[in-house]
Structure 1
Amino acid sequence: MTRSALATFGAFLLATTAHAQAPGQLAFRDLYKEFIETDTSVATGSCTALAEKIAGHLKSAGYSDSQITLFTDPKFPLDGGLVAMLPGSDAKAKPMLLLGHLDVVNAKREDWERDPFKFIEENGYFYGRGTSDMKVMDAIWVDMFMRFKKEGYRPKRTIKLALTCGEESGARMNGAEWLSKNKPDLIAAEFAINEGGGGDTDGHGKIITQSMQVGEKSNRSYELTATNPGGHSSIPIDDNAIYELSDALEKVRAYKFPIRFNATTKAFFAKAGAARGDDLGKAMTALSANPSDKAAEATVIADRTYNSMLRTTCVATMLAAGHAVNALPQRAVATINCRIAPGEDGDTTKAALEKAIGDPKLQVAMVGRLRPVAVVPPLTPQIMGPAEKLVARYFPGVPLIPTMSTGATDATYLAPVGIPTYGVPGPWGDPDGNGAHGLNERHAVKSAYVSRDFLTDLVKAYADGK
């Protein structure tokens, strides 16, 4: 290799590694790794264990015991969380709250290509359960709190941090709900920022949009139950509970709820479509102008995320049937999880399912913990202004668009206690969802590092603003 070639190669190495060597990034990576490798799934893990580790990190950074509150419900000792506080300089300025959930969706090692609770970096991605949803943001929040204290930064308004459990599991307690009911003063804030926003790529690394979440769907689950006297399997009949349930599930799969635009989603499809400039983008723009455009709808709903933003969706997620291999089933049960668009509710969705199924013998019953119906927070210049400026600086040419989350977050528990909550831009994902809630979850390395800097600047802008 010639001297000039060596120089060129050396410059390439410096350019590709410079970002990874930015101050504090190795410490942030270690923190992120610890979060991923601390199992916080409801099946095999403990949020309490991770919350206690985080408390230790904050104390080592200089936070006093009075600035850190660990909490648990005695009935659920593994589902604890933490609230921390960085005092502000202006007693008249209302606090802001950083919100995050520590728990992750269950993950079985035998189903994954890599150990889901090992932090693995490959081909520009970090792999592991929670890398995207949402331990990348949790690690950013904690890393930020530690740096703020060590740097002596004193914001104008107090910054609070609440890291809770139960957003994903839904089976035991929900920490955000518990705090809002039992310790509302501890988390009281003028507003909160949370997951739910972020960037979208074209699947090849190009960031197309950044979004600010200003609303979300409601989460409701239903059980479909078919019952039958049963009998001996040697003398079968067509009246079979499993067949009856299967017929109902086919109808649920085929049913499409009507398109239901609101001001946020209408603006999103128009602006995000214009930003794309491809056939999908043209269809998004056309559909926002005319929801009855079936050709545009067919193109848009091929994208699973965009389809979910358009309408209420219901999908089968669990099945249980039969009681013996040599007996006709006496009971067959399916769980249907619905994400309900604003303007509809649990009762209207149940009625739509019953009508689509058209089987009066089959029971449809709402089940599970009922989250409050999501409240759309006001989209003010105080929230959008700083974010727009930083998106323009960090992601030149990329629009910041208000959006509605198709999932459900813990923001629903804060609205009833007067804390409007926004899903902020920053971390970005690919069109396939990056394996969140599925197999081989991943998050782009560059996204983690850039988002750390972006969100630090955004929090400072909010904390020092009016």
Structure 2
Amino acid sequence: MSNPSAEDEVVQLCSDLIRIDTSNPGDHSGPGERVAAEYVAEKLAEVGLEPKIYESHAKRSSVVVRIEGTDPQRDALLIHGHLDVVPARKEDWTRDPFGGEVADGCVWGRGAVDMKDMDAMVLATIRERLRQGRRPERDIVLAFLADEEAGGKWGAHWLVDNHPELFEGCTEAIGEVGGFSLTLPNDDRLYLIETAEKGLAWMRLIAEGTAGHGSMVHPDNAVTALAAAVGRLGEYEFPVRLTKTVRAFLEEVCAATGVEFDPDDIEKTVRELGPVSRMIGATLRNTLNPTVLDAGYKANVIPQTATAQVDGRFLPGYEEEFFATVDELLGEHVRREFVHHDIAVETEFDGPLVEAMAAALKAHDPHARPVPYCLSGGTDAKSFATLGIRCFGFAPLKLPKDLDFSGMFHGIDERVPVEGLQFGVRVLDHFLDHA
């Protein structure tokens, strides 16, 4: 019996991975990634590799393997993906979020785009290449990681801190949230390659006052102080800061659409992009979004402490400005501490690796126009950038014009087109020939 092609196998691999529940609620109460890690390790071992599972905490598992290249003088390439997903409630979905069902031309389920699709595309591509005896020119390190959805503390960060030798020689990396198509109103297709992402500041705000009876006058009410600070943070709009990556992206969009690039009216250009404007619009400025409030236990008792949590994101080069603004808005009666803090990253959109990405996309879509962009969220690239690795988002997908791709991330009825997965393995295979 002949082996399936990568294009045939990628759909089954994606479905299988989705059916393994790796929900990450942000602590260790979920199922963990162990079962998925064992599945990935088995698929890699079947084609002659010797993957190793690294467990940072019970069931919190990552898989790493190095494929030796034919030219030992060349630097290594890291290809990384995460195995965990955000939780999903079955009753909210049209189809079982952990069913991995193939229907209406798509693979459905939690992780279909974030990011078990890329995990499957990498597995399918590597398995086919090794079955055919096609070794890469440079070493390739494959990393399938735990805990990305909670900041990577038990995945990429843990591996970088405890096993940096695994990534020795790696100078470049590709990972998630890049290489996907965006169809413009004039039907041109841009392919967004991530070269930057915002920094992350999940913060806990704490206000303290004097506890007492709710019927009395209390000038230092912790709830009042906290509520005022949260209101200031939530209502504040940071000024537009046009980073080099965002400027390059918008200039490309304007050139493709014939719209004049007006640096004095950037937001108008972004609004014309359609659904993806949610993702791109958030890269024009730093952002603050209050997400959690907690205070008190009884209506007639003034609590001594009130807390809140805020999701903050800052642009590359603007971290200092971000925190100075936060501290000014908090005022003197509220302090902050980090729930999770991570860096912003940015690299240039140039060099042989970028050329290889662009060539691979154009080889399989003659209308492809690769462009750099900044991700409003964060990925495991933050961990690997600390090792001096140039990180790109390149998980290639050719998408239907009407698919709200940005809405699929952490959304209900997450799904990925079968044709998009098959396009992805063709592009990755071409890319690895020239990377």
Bin of the TM-score, shorter chain as denominator length: 0.7 to 0.9
The 1:374–1:349 alpha-carbon spacing in structure 2 relative to 1, beyond 3 Å, is: closer
In structure 2, what is the Cα distance between the partners aligned to 1:294 and 1:52? 47
The corresponding residue for 2:90 is 109
| Pairing 1:17-56 to 2, within 5 Å after superposition | 23-43=5-25, 44-56=30-42
3-state SS in 2 of match to 1:336? strand
Given the alignment, which residue of 307, 330, 343 partners 1:333?
Answer: 307
The corresponding residue for 1:448 is 421
In structure 1, what is the Cα distance between the partners aligned to 2:129 and 2:123? 10
Given the alignment, which residue of 281, 284, 299 partners 1:307?
Answer: 281
In structure 2, what is the Cα distance between the partners aligned to 1:423 and 1:185? 23
Given the alignment, which residue of 72, 78, 99 partners 2:55?
Answer: 72
Matched, 1:210 2:222: no
Matched, 1:377 2:363: no
In structure 2, what is the Cα distance between the partners aligned to 1:122 and 1:89? 41
The 1:445–1:232 alpha-carbon spacing in structure 2 relative to 1, beyond 3 Å, is: farther
3-state SS in 2 of match to 1:70? strand
The corresponding residue for 2:144 is 163
The corresponding residue for 1:3 is none
The corresponding residue for 2:265 is 293
* Most deviating of 198-207 and 187-196: 198-207
Q: Please tell me the residue identity of whatever aligns with 1:310.
A: L
The 1:193–1:432 alpha-carbon spacing in structure 2 relative to 1, beyond 3 Å, is: closer
Q: CA deviation at 1:335?
A: 0.9
In structure 1, what is the Cα distance between the partners aligned to 2:427 and 2:267? 39
Q: CA deviation at 1:82?
A: 0.8
The corresponding residue for 1:18 is none
In structure 2, what is the Cα distance between the partners aligned to 1:388 and 1:318? 42
Matched, 1:181 2:174: no
The corresponding residue for 1:367 is 338
Q: Please tell me the residue identity of whatever aligns with 1:461.
A: H
| Pairing 1:2-151 to 2, within 5 Å after superposition | 23-43=5-25, 44-63=30-49, 67-73=50-56, 76-151=57-132
Contact 2:384 2:391 in 1 (8 A): yes
In structure 1, what is the Cα distance between the partners aligned to 2:347 and 2:425? 25
Q: CA deviation at 1:411?
A: 1.3
In structure 2, what is the Cα distance between the partners aligned to 1:98 and 1:294? 34
In structure 2, what is the Cα distance between the partners aligned to 1:84 and 1:242? 51
Q: CA deviation at 1:113?
A: 4.0
The 1:90–1:293 alpha-carbon spacing in structure 2 relative to 1, beyond 3 Å, is: closer
Contact 2:118 2:395 in 1 (8 A): no
In structure 2, what is the Cα distance between the partners aligned to 1:217 and 1:312? 8
The corresponding residue for 2:317 is 343
The 1:207–1:317 alpha-carbon spacing in structure 2 relative to 1, beyond 3 Å, is: farther
Contact 2:267 2:281 in 1 (8 A): no
Per-residue CA deviations over 1:3-51 (Å, capped at 9, x if unaligned) read: xxxxxxxxxxxxxxxxxxx944342212111111111122422212211
3-state SS in 1 of match to 2:368? coil
Q: Please tell me the residue identity of whatever aligns with 2:332.
A: P
The 1:420–1:402 alpha-carbon spacing in structure 2 relative to 1, beyond 3 Å, is: same
The 1:121–1:179 alpha-carbon spacing in structure 2 relative to 1, beyond 3 Å, is: same
TM (normalized to structure 2)? Answer: 0.87
In structure 2, what is the Cα distance between the partners aligned to 1:328 and 1:208? 57
Q: Please tell me the residue identity of whatever aligns with 1:161.
A: L
Q: CA deviation at 1:368?
A: 2.3
In structure 2, what is the Cα distance between the partners aligned to 1:267 and 1:404? 10
In structure 2, what is the Cα distance between the partners aligned to 1:376 and 1:57? 33
Q: CA deviation at 1:131?
A: 0.7
Structure with the largest fraction of helix: 1
How large is the Cα RMSD of the aligned pairs? 2.9
3-state SS in 1 of match to 2:149? coil
Rg larger for: 1
Q: CA deviation at 1:388?
A: 1.9
TM (normalized to structure 1)? Answer: 0.82
In structure 2, what is the Cα distance between the partners aligned to 1:360 and 1:185? 45
| Pairing 1:213-228 to 2, within 5 Å after superposition | 213-228=194-209
Q: Please tell me the residue identity of whatever aligns with 2:339.
A: G
Given the alignment, which residue of 134, 153, 156 partners 1:153?
Answer: 134
Q: Please tell me the residue identity of whatever aligns with 1:132.
A: V
Matched, 1:261 2:242: yes
3-state SS in 1 of match to 2:283? helix
The corresponding residue for 1:388 is 358
Matched, 1:199 2:180: yes
Q: CA deviation at 1:301?
A: 10
The 1:246–1:441 alpha-carbon spacing in structure 2 relative to 1, beyond 3 Å, is: farther
The 1:331–1:445 alpha-carbon spacing in structure 2 relative to 1, beyond 3 Å, is: farther
The corresponding residue for 2:296 is 322
Per-residue CA deviations over 1:187-229 (Å, capped at 9, x if unaligned) read: 2213111113122435999673102222211111222233343
The 1:261–1:295 alpha-carbon spacing in structure 2 relative to 1, beyond 3 Å, is: closer
Q: Please tell me the residue identity of whatever aligns with 1:152.
A: G
Per-residue CA deviations over 1:44-91 (Å, capped at 9, x if unaligned) read: 22212211111112222232xxx3121112xx1211111122222222
3-state SS in 1 of match to 2:148? coil
In structure 2, what is the Cα distance between the partners aligned to 1:369 and 1:353? 16
| Pairing 1:407-418 to 2, within 5 Å after superposition | 407-418=377-388
3-state SS in 2 of match to 1:309? coil
In structure 1, what is the Cα distance between the partners aligned to 2:337 and 2:411? 25
The 1:109–1:151 alpha-carbon spacing in structure 2 relative to 1, beyond 3 Å, is: same
Per-residue CA deviations over 1:103-143 (Å, capped at 9, x if unaligned) read: 11122334444332221334333221111111100111112
